[in-house]
Structure 1
Amino acid sequence: MRPALLAVVAVLLYAAPASAAEQLLTLYSPAIQSLPYVHRSEFVTLKPDGRQAPAQPGSILGFQEMALVDSKRPDAKPLPVDKMMIHHFLYYANGRVDRGPGGCLGDGFIGGRGEEHPSGRFDAMWPPEQRARYGIRNATPDGRAPEWSLMTMVMNHYKKPKRFFVRTKVWYTTEPREQVYPLTVGNCAHIGNGMAYDVPGDGGTFVDRSTWTVPFNGRILGGGSHHHGGALRQTLRSVTCGRQLFDAKAYYGAPDHPYNTIRPILHEPGPIANGTFRSAAGIPVSAGEVLEREAVHSNEELHVAAMGFWVLPFVRDDSVTPCAPLPDDVHEVTVPERYDTAAPFVFDRLVPQLLAPRGAWKAFDGKPIPVGDQWFRPQRLTAKVGERITWEFRGSEPHSVTVANGPRGFSSNYLGITRGRYSFTPTVAGTYKLTCLIHPTTMSQTVRVR
């Protein structure tokens, strides 16, 4: 072939549009910086440039990986969980079409990772046969690829500041797919606290319960339980049809699992897996059907910033009839090969107060207690049962008032706040060892309640 003809062929090849078949895209967030021993919460924008988010409008067929790496080399291994522990990633496609009912995390939500996914891999949750038929529409009303946003909460256990990227591997296509609506079903009253709530630790079990009404006829292709804070199990049942859809057990790591050996302990050791289910046929639900969710926690010890909600891939099916028979192919896909089977599990370990408070004991005088950047004042406080104690935030950085351990659990917003007040009235005497969840190694306060 002559050189001129070779050049023409090369131009045509490179100018040809990308295949509309399934692709596995590897995307990276902008660089994120974290100080040592902090809970780093970060909101980042992912541009639709093919490097941070898909450049072409199409459909998200599934997420293969969500991981932390410290370089963009193709062979970069994810950072070890005993150095960079991930509490959660939440992905949103802003302004996309056909978002559907959404749920507690909003109708822009497209996927996420919790601490119950220590490997960061999701192959079993998005099998090829599902990807060939269904997808999450990723396009704006004017036909462009939408901008994505990512919320991360990461705990840095390195002894130095760390620079990292979030690497996302996503199956994608520009071919048509049946629309999947990612639903987050939980108690939406908790959304102001990032879906977190406190388990007080006053004995027995603690149940967080909510209901959700199905907006249109369809099928649930599976369910992923996000559940931690003394988590035992989370269920989803149809009140209308009187039947259970999912029963998700919480799996805890063996004593030598990194979640149990990590030091310093910046966060209560959570499950290494929660029940995750799939069904190719899909569980039929009909418009107006009421589903009830129950997140069951151990209440023998306090658990602050606990959570319990479901992520459900939902597809429309107008042919579904009320209380239609359940499919026989519902199965669990994320049971770990090795986990702790003995009670009490490691969630009954007390979380330490990592900085010992100093200074003289001061009696609470009814005035707001100031919280500033890297300090509580005073560090030692005495109070009485029934006294309403108020903390006032005055810093430029976000902080929280959180019980590390004590007779009862309570916490202000676990993502932290920079302004405003938080109050708690203790009804049980004892020593409350407090910390800031965001800065657990540099901020502490102890309150003795008599």
Structure 2
Amino acid sequence: MRPLLAALLGLLLCAAPASAGEQLLTLYSPPIDSLPYVHRTETVELKPDGKAAPAQPGSILGFQEMALVDSKRPDAKPLPVDKMMVHHFLYYAGGRVDPGPGGCLGGGFIAGRGEEHPNGRFDAAWPPEQRARYGIQNVMHDGSAPRWTLQTMVMNHYQRSKRFFVRTKVWYTTEPREPLYPITVGNCAHLMNGMAYDVPGGGAPGSTFSDRSTWTVPFNGRILGGGSHHHGGALNQTLRSVTCGRTLLDAKAYYGADDHPYNTIRPILHEPGPIANGTFRTLQGIPVTAGETLEREAVHSNAQLHVAAMGFWALHLVRDDTVTPCGPMPTDLREVTVPPVYDTAAPYVFDRLVPQLLAPRGRWRAFDGRRLEVGDQFFAKPRLTARVGQKLTWEFTGYEPHSVTVANGPRGFSSSYLGNTRGRYSFTPTVPGTYKLTCLIHPTTMSQTVKVKRT
């Protein structure tokens, strides 16, 4: 018996190194409940128990899938995007060893999915050659595996409440890897509004609106990949080296054809966004050096208003002290997410305005300068008249988060798209016309119309 046990133990010891190689983990969030026809942000914790987040310290080699499912069955299919549309997932693992510079979303950010990824698959963005060498460190200072946090914003188009799980498939290893740093490059001044900003609209056909920011490279290294998150009349987003006078990445926004679910989904809770935004990979890497200035420019159509627009880059950076200033661009840089079918005729979907889904009722009231209450499921004074130049101030008094957002009108504006439960938001209209307002979180049950006159 002892020789047999010794032989078995020997086999297990020999197999141990192999088990430390690349694994594909399937992880699930706790259940999340959504009311019908809402899109609100939920944040859940993912415990490092091997079921919600990796149990062992190691390295994240890549994300194969981020999907919504209503069951933990291994064969469960992702929920259709015309029923449960993902605006974004954001994954964080705070307190890790050497998280890197992080960027706008901080060093805890490790990955995300936006609406520009309708199928939730990322195989091409994490090639095996990269996974064999680099990984995002997933270890705390005490040697344990970190707890993850997941922020979700999902739009429920079912006519009932819906319970779902976020299924995440992660390539993982406990073997050593060179650190890879996820970095979000955008206008960090927008962070308090969830990285969102408003495109006011009202421009001539073909007019554009740009949101720009700069970022200083913290160390010598190489950019192995970049994904553009860009919506709200998005045209293209660039990342340019001011120091070297060259464009590093230029991401076009691709829109779905007329029959794509993003264009046919009803009710419209969010303006149709891109079905791809440009994701780039290079194993050679784009060389950048410490102190180099990079400029990001997100270009939007400005003919129509686009509220809660966004534009930022998610980059993957590795250290490399051998790079030289303004070294040659890689020869293997390529875009990996060009959709097989997309709309090629401008103006794409920029003229498809989001409707005001609830018509306000009651008598028209003239604005008297007092604060306008926004409570749970209501706007006080739902039909209001005002004059150009009058400062309108809304005050949030509810227990649930709400927003004051233009669904359609002569110009676009919005309070925090994440919603507020307290505080105030002000806007002074300079253009006359009818402003149809809604709450982004409760678009089918909350609305207000403001008619603005010149005198």
What TM-score range do you get, normalising by the shorter chain?
A: over 0.9
Mapping of 1:422-441 within 5 angstroms?
422-441=425-444
- Paired residue type of 1:260: N
Q: Give the stretch that moved more between structures: 92-101 or 254-263.
A: 92-101
| Separation in structure 1 between the aligned mates of residue 436 and residue 241 of structure 2, nearest angstrom | 41
- Paired residue type of 1:334: T
Partner secondary structure for residue 66 of structure 1: strand
- Paired residue type of 1:32: I
**What do the CA deviations read for 1:215-250 (whole angstroms, capped 9, x no partner)?**
110000011000000000000000000000011000
Structure 1 counterpart of 2:175? 175
Partner secondary structure for residue 21 of structure 2: coil
Mapping of 1:316-335 within 5 angstroms?
316-335=319-338
| Separation in structure 1 between the aligned mates of residue 389 and residue 112 of structure 2, nearest angstrom | 41
Partner secondary structure for residue 30 of structure 1: coil
Structure 2 counterpart of 1:35? 35
Q: Is the 8 A contact 1:86 1:155 kept in 2?
A: yes
Partner secondary structure for residue 447 of structure 1: strand
Mapping of 1:191-270 within 5 angstroms?
191-203=191-203, 204-270=207-273
Gaps of 5+ in 2: none
| Separation in structure 1 between the aligned mates of residue 172 and residue 401 of structure 2, nearest angstrom | 37
Q: Is the 8 A contact 1:270 1:347 kept in 2?
A: no
Partner secondary structure for residue 129 of structure 2: helix
Q: CA deviation at 1:347?
A: 2.7
Q: Is the 8 A contact 2:94 2:107 kept in 1?
A: no
Q: CA deviation at 1:3?
A: 12
| Separation in structure 1 between the aligned mates of residue 327 and residue 93 of structure 2, nearest angstrom | 33
- Paired residue type of 1:233: N
Structure 1 counterpart of 2:66? 66
Q: CA deviation at 1:99?
A: 0.5
Partner secondary structure for residue 431 of structure 1: strand
Q: How well do the aligned residues superpose, as a CA RMSD in angstroms? A: 1.8
| Separation in structure 2 between the aligned mates of residue 79 and residue 347 of structure 1, nearest angstrom | 27
Mapping of 1:288-437 within 5 angstroms?
288-437=291-440
Q: CA deviation at 1:298?
A: 0.1
Mapping of 1:89-108 within 5 angstroms?
89-108=89-108
| Separation in structure 2 between the aligned mates of residue 166 and residue 14 of structure 1, nearest angstrom | 35
Q: Is the 8 A contact 1:40 1:156 kept in 2?
A: no
Structure 1 counterpart of 2:133? 133
| Separation in structure 2 between the aligned mates of residue 131 and residue 245 of structure 1, nearest angstrom | 23
Partner secondary structure for residue 164 of structure 1: strand
Partner secondary structure for residue 383 of structure 1: strand
| Separation in structure 1 between the aligned mates of residue 4 and residue 30 of structure 2, nearest angstrom | 41
Q: CA deviation at 1:40?
A: 2.5
| Separation in structure 1 between the aligned mates of residue 418 and residue 96 of structure 2, nearest angstrom | 27
Q: Is the 8 A contact 1:226 1:307 kept in 2?
A: yes
- Paired residue type of 1:185: V
Structure 1 runs of 4+ aligned residues shifted over 4 Å read 2-18
Q: Is the 8 A contact 2:403 2:439 kept in 1?
A: yes
Partner secondary structure for residue 381 of structure 1: strand
Q: CA deviation at 1:121?
A: 0.1
| Separation in structure 2 between the aligned mates of residue 229 and residue 111 of structure 1, nearest angstrom | 22
| Separation in structure 2 between the aligned mates of residue 15 and residue 84 of structure 1, nearest angstrom | 46
| Separation in structure 2 between the aligned mates of residue 274 and residue 409 of structure 1, nearest angstrom | 23
Kindly tell me: are residues 175 and 15 of structure 1, through their superposed partners in 2, closer, same or farther at Cα, counting changes over 3 Å? Answer: closer
Name the count of aligned residue pairs.
449
Structure 1 length as normaliser, TM-score? 0.97
Q: CA deviation at 1:395?
A: 0.2
| Separation in structure 2 between the aligned mates of residue 98 and residue 23 of structure 1, nearest angstrom | 23
Structure 2 length as normaliser, TM-score? 0.96
Kindly tell me: are residues 291 and 74 of structure 1, through their superposed partners in 2, closer, same or farther at Cα, counting changes over 3 Å? Answer: same
Structure 2 counterpart of 1:53? 53
Q: Is the 8 A contact 2:357 2:443 kept in 1?
A: yes
Gaps of 5+ in 1: none
Q: CA deviation at 1:116?
A: 0.0
